[in-house]
Amino acid sequence: MKFNITVIPGDGIGPEVVNQAQKVLNAIGEVYDHTFLYEEVLMGACAIDKEGTPLPEKTLASCKKSDAILFGAIGDPKYDNDPSAKVRPEQGLLKLRKELALFCNVRPVKAYDQLIKNSPLKEEIIKGTDIEIYRELTGGIYFGIKQLSDDKQIAFDGCSYSVEEIERIAHLAFKAAQGRSKRLTLVDKANVLETSRLWRKTVSELSSQYPDVAVDTMFVDNAAMQLILNPKQFDVVLTGNLFGDILSDEASVIGGSIGLLASASVGNENALFEPIHGSYPQAKGKDIANPLASILSAAMLLRHLKLSKEAEAIEKAVEKSLELGITTEDIQSQSNFSTSKVGDFIVDYIHNQEDSNINFKNIHMGQSTII
């Protein structure tokens, strides 16, 4: 089949990791007989530099008409360190999410057996963890009214949620739970926030439509602690925009590296796939960043296009790379591999899924040159 993919490499390490994901998609195309047609467009600091805006019209138009969007990362220290900057790279991503109504951000968190030792958390706590965070992505405090008083002494960020906004993501989270361990935890701050009370009421009312899903609720402060104390208690976590942002970074510690966490941002018409790590400017251009989150985002993209067998091939290749230690320095500081070498391994594995581990290990350790 033929698919149109909009590619947004973005800033920092974005281009390097997205490049690997594209290599992997091309390998999938060759092996499973699909064509991926890419249109590469700008967003973020690079778009501000070239076009004066973080989200050029052309980027938005390309995203609207494509089958899926593959995105790298956004942000640049020159804006982070300038609180008075009027235009910021992140505005591009936020506007894109809003314009495409990508209201549901799915962030899977898994403890890979091969990486248990990489996490600072104890093995018995994290082994077997398998969580999916459903983070609302186009509402809440991220998109509320923002104000700064004339004398610049008072700042204001408003937070609002409508029943409709809560319902549409809650339905997706309930359906996901039905296909998993049938547990859904709503994380909020309903002891303090009016919006959280509306989440609780709405989710509780919806739950009668999903009688097979066990729903519980948890305050976000407690959830932050429970994620570290006993992550296995969670299956699907449903939460608002800001809480989801924070909890998903926290949860990445369970996986051993934030360089492994992929995400899908879906709406009714479009879908965007991106690693949850940021632009990691210190590593830009050094070929050291972990490409696996971007590659796993490509797997999520394929699943969204209903290519599950193809998605599984990528996931299997990623697990194999972890098993054989063909990984970047964030995962193993000694005998590490470059960003592009890890990408090469995944590509080779997809082409030669039947071959023995030994063969792969030798080839990618530089002990052999032919496949």
> So which residues are the catalytic ones?
142, 189, 221, 245, 249
Q: Give the containing element (helix H, strand E) for 321.
A: helix 308-324
| Pairing verdict, β 155-157 and 68-73 | unpaired
CB of 110 to ligand IPM, least distance (A): 18
90 is a site residue for ligand IPM (CB under 6 A):
yes
Q: CA of 120: how far to CAs of 125, 228, 332, in Å? A: 11, 10, 14
Question: Cβ 51 to ligand IPM, closest distance in Å?
Answer: 19
Q: How far is the CB of 245 from ligand IPM (least distance, A)?
A: 5
Q: Which residue in the set 93, 176, 206, 305 belongs to the binding site for ligand IPM (CB under 6 A)?
A: 93
Q: Which is nearer to Mn ion, 133 or 318 (CB)?
A: 133
Secondary-structure breakdown of the chain: helix, strand, coil percentages, each rounded to the nearest 5:
45, 20, 35
| Residues pairing with 71 in the sheet | 8
Position of minimal CB gap to Mn ion? 245
Place of tokens 């995400």: 263
d(CA 113, CA 292): 16
CA gap 90, 81 in Å, rounded: 14
Q: Which does residue 74 touch among ligand IPM, Mn ion, none (CB within 5 to 8 A, set by kind)?
A: ligand IPM
Q: CA-CA-CA-CA torsion for 122, 123, 129, 133, nearest 10 degrees?
A: 30
Among residues 132, 136, 245, 315, which is the contact residue for ligand IPM, using CB under 6 A?
245
**Is residue 245 within the footprint of Mn ion (CB under 5 A)?**
yes
Find where tokens 């599984």 sit.
312
Full DSSP string of 28-50: HHHHHT-EEEEEE---SHHHHHH
Residue type, 140: G
Question: Which of the residues 261 through 280 are near ligand IPM (CB under 6 A)?
Answer: 276
| Six-digit token string for 222 | 């407690």
Q: Which is nearer to ligand IPM, 74 or 305 (CB)?
A: 74
- In the list 8, 74, 102, 104, the residue contacting ligand IPM (rule: CB under 6 A) is 74
Contact in structure between 177 and 188 (CB atoms under 8 Å): no
Q: Does 136 bind ligand IPM (CB under 6 A)?
A: no
Site membership for Mn ion, residue 16 (CB under 5 A): no
Among the residue ranges 89-97, 195-203, 215-223, 308-316, the one whose residues contact ligand IPM (CB under 6 A)? 89-97
Of the candidate spans 90-98, 114-122, 181-189, 284-292, the one that interacts with ligand IPM by CB under 6 A turns out to be 90-98
The number of residues that bind ligand IPM (CB under 6 A) is: 7
Task: Report the C-alpha dihedral over residues 190, 192, 197, 198, rounded to 10 degrees.
Answer: -130
For ligand IPM, which is the closer residue by CB, 16 or 310? 16
Closer residue to ligand IPM, CB minimum distance, 83 or 179: 83
The footprint of Mn ion (CB under 5 A) covers: 245
The footprint of ligand IPM (CB under 6 A) covers: 74-75, 90, 93-94, 245, 276
